[in-house]
Amino acid sequence: MIERQPFGSTGHESTRTIFGAAALGRATDEEAAPVLDLLLEYGINHIDTAAMYGRSERRVGAWMDRHRQDFFLATKTGERTYQAARDQFHHSLERMRVDSVDLLQLHNLVDPDDWEVAMGAGGALEAAVEAREQGLCRFIGVTGHGVTVAAMHRRSLERFPFDSVLLPYNYPMMQNARYAEDFDALTSLCAERGVAVQTIKGITLRPWDEREHTHGTWYEPLSEQEDIDLAVRWVLGRPGVFLNTAADATLLPKILDGAKRANGTPDETAMKELAQRQSMAPLFT
């Protein structure tokens, strides 16, 4: 089974590997069934989805009548204003066939103008707080992408006591000294405040070029088991963080297998060799 640790100050012990349900975005119920079996096999107890992930919320909803008690359930709204975020979240509850979720997250809140709208009067944050007051969610988080996300999450935490953050973390991206500095500062702040840190894009190989896209991820992923093992071990080697799985169901068994066997952090030599051998490159610059 995969190791568990406290999900921030929520009181929930989440598996350190969280199911990124974007992998279900194009799936039918029949295609999603083996995914559920795999999650149960590995003891995964935390699902992260979003309103904008295609069919994902509906596929998750098909499990909830039998398995709601088995999972910490998180979704996201990408809307910025109160009414739009409120409406989108209520539609999410309908799609997932649940009365409430554990975590509602403001999705990809990085652009400064979007941030001002979402965090201000009449913004999406007000809808999330209202949902919590009404018992429709228990906790509130914030997510994002890009090289400025760690700094923006620190700004968000100064404005509001979010329960979780989510952002990229992988070997190529952490070679960017500025991003690494911001990431370290954010994780230190989160540790002080009991905020859960979820990481994404852990098995990034490089941005897609003009070659055929062979996976459903919006970056080219590592695909060989031994390479995924190294990348997963590298992420999970950082104490306190969570690894959210990739948006491609075919990669899920390899990621979970790597997470189950993860023990210790690969040394710098092994990671440099992987980066050179596979010509790894940062997704964001």
Is residue 284, in this structure, part of any structural domain at all? Answer: no
Our count of domains for the chain comes to 1
What is the tens place of the pLDDT at every residue in 88-141? 999 999 999 999 999 999 999 999 999 999 999 999 999 999 999 999 999 999
Is residue 36, in this structure, part of any structural domain at all? Answer: yes
What is the tens place of the pLDDT at every residue in 231-249? 999 999 999 999 999 999 9
Is residue 285, in this structure, part of any structural domain at all? Answer: no
What is the tens place of the pLDDT at every residue in 177-194? 999 999 999 999 999 999
Is residue 209, in this structure, part of any structural domain at all? Answer: yes
CB 234 within 8 A of CB 266: yes
The CATH number for 188's domain is 3.20.20.100
Q: Has this prediction a pTM greater than 0.95?
A: yes
Is residue 50, in this structure, part of any structural domain at all? Answer: yes
Print the domain residue range for 120: 4-277
Is residue 283, in this structure, part of any structural domain at all? Answer: no
Is residue 160, in this structure, part of any structural domain at all? Answer: yes
Task: Calculate the CA dihedral of residues 188, 154, 133, 57 and round it to 10 degrees.
Answer: -90
Specify the amino acid at residue 62: A
DSSP secondary structure string, 244-283?
EPPS-GGGHHHHHHHHHH--S---HHHHHHHHHHTT---S
What are the tokens at 238? Answer: 């950082």
Is residue 155, in this structure, part of any structural domain at all? Answer: yes
Q: CB under 8 Å to 179, separation ≥6 — which residues?
A: 147, 150, 173, 284
